[in-house]
A = this chain, B = another copy of it.
Amino acid sequence: MTELKNDRYLRALLKQPVDVTPVWMMRQAGRYLPEYKATRAEAGDFMALCTNPELACEVTLQPLRRFKLDAAILFSDILTIPDAMGLGLYFETGEGPKFERPIQSIADVDKLPVVDPEIELKYVMDAVRTIRKNLQGSVPLIGFSGSPWTLATYMVEGGSSKAFTKIKKMAFAEPNTLHKLLDKLADSVIVYLNAQIAAGAQSVMVFDTWGGVLSPRDYKLFSLQYMEKIVAGLTRTYEGKKIPVTLFTKNGGMWLESIAATGCDALGLDWTIDIKEAKARVGDKVALQGNMDPSILYAGKERIEQEVQDILAGFGEGEGHVFNLGHGIHLDVPPENAGHFVEAVHKYSGQYHK
């Protein structure tokens, strides 16, 4: 494999010195870019795009042509595993992902097959290989998965949810069923991410989008425990290179100490926590990724630059910061504003790295 020309992202995750703070954006390949919309139209629909390695590679690379991003992230969906398990993923316009056959009982859980990433999810591995090759060592490639709890919410609710009543009913009235499901998912995520690493992912991230809807104790029991199992089961060094692992629980700001104790390399932060406080609490243990409110990108260049400077000053001197948005970029953000954001991170961060 080609040596990396820009390894700032990996170095920052490992708390090693960098010249400027690396930056990428969650959902950087997406609908705010006209070229993405064109490729998606060519593919047909969202899942057709995900399952076509050439087109998935194309959209992964698109934002890198526009902006000096320090990492690429595999273009895929968090729900590929339950889809491969046979739940029948589909998308209804404006309603988010849905499953044709949601999990309703222990019998449904028992029936879930073990998924082989190089068979049922070969299209993801082919995308990873294609992207890694086409990146030509320019920046590292991030692989990812949803967390077991987050995957389970969609699998049990049958789609997106507001109050998560079905999965919580299962959690509190039938906890053994849910634990069995979460354990199966943790095992699947481990083999899925390890396959992504073998296919070329140079870092992996676990998205726990919905861990924050739980109480502190239930978060540990139903979400964190299974992410910890994943961290322990991942390939942490591949072909002599460290593979950093980032865990991101949205609305998990109160539990950073527990997340940092899993043995992961970095924590993703949403914008509801002050990064200065986060660093004081866990910055000696892990790197931090975040944490600008993606809605700031609706403002003008000056306001964006100010916010970037405030967050950089909040983290202050020292290593271990990957700049990012606290959640995915909104689809109606002007692309030039994303450009101002990326430029500002590089422009104003040099002073913090000596």
Interface residues of A (CB under 8 A from B): 163-165, 168-169, 171-173, 212-219, 251, 253-254, 271-274, 293, 295-296, 298-300, 303, 310, 326, 330, 332
Contacts and interface: CB of A to CB of B under 8 A. Distances in A.
Nearest to A304: B172
B212 A172 contact: no
Q: Which of A164, A214, A218, A298 has the most CB of B within 10 A?
A: A298
A298 B251 contact: no
A215 B332 contact: no
Contacts of A274: 215-217
Contacts of A254: 253-254, 272-273
Q: Which of A215, A274, A303 has the most CB of B within 10 A?
A: A215
Nearest to A165: B330
B300 A173 contact: yes
Nearest to A291: B215
28 contacts: A163-B330, A164-B295, A165-B295, A165-B330, A165-B332, A168-B295, A169-B295, A169-B298, A171-B295, A172-B295, A172-B299, A173-B298, A173-B299, A173-B300, A212-B272, A213-B272, A214-B293, A215-B271, A215-B274, A215-B293, A216-B274, A217-B274, A219-B272, A251-B272, A253-B254, A254-B254, A254-B272, A254-B273
Nearest to A327: B163
A172 B330 contact: no
Contacts of A299: 172-173
A163 B26 CA distance: 15
A173 B298 CA distance: 7
A273 B216 contact: yes
Contacts of A168: 293, 295, 298
Contacts of A213: 272
Contacts of A332: 165
A105 to B, nearest CB: 16
A303 B175 CA distance: 11
A251 B211 CA distance: 13
B172 A298 contact: yes
Given A163-B330, A254-B253, A215 B272 contact: yes
B296 A172 contact: yes
Contacts of A330: 163, 165
A253 B163 CA distance: 18
Contacts of A303: 172-173
A152 to B, nearest CB: 15
A165 B298 contact: yes
A17 to B, nearest CB: 28
A26 to B, nearest CB: 13
Contacts of A295: 163-165, 168-169, 171-172
A254 B254 CA distance: 6
A268 to B, nearest CB: 15
A245 to B, nearest CB: 24
Nearest to A163: B330
A270 B47 CA distance: 37
A168 B332 CA distance: 13
A226 to B, nearest CB: 19
A202 B46 CA distance: 54
Contacts of A216: 272-274
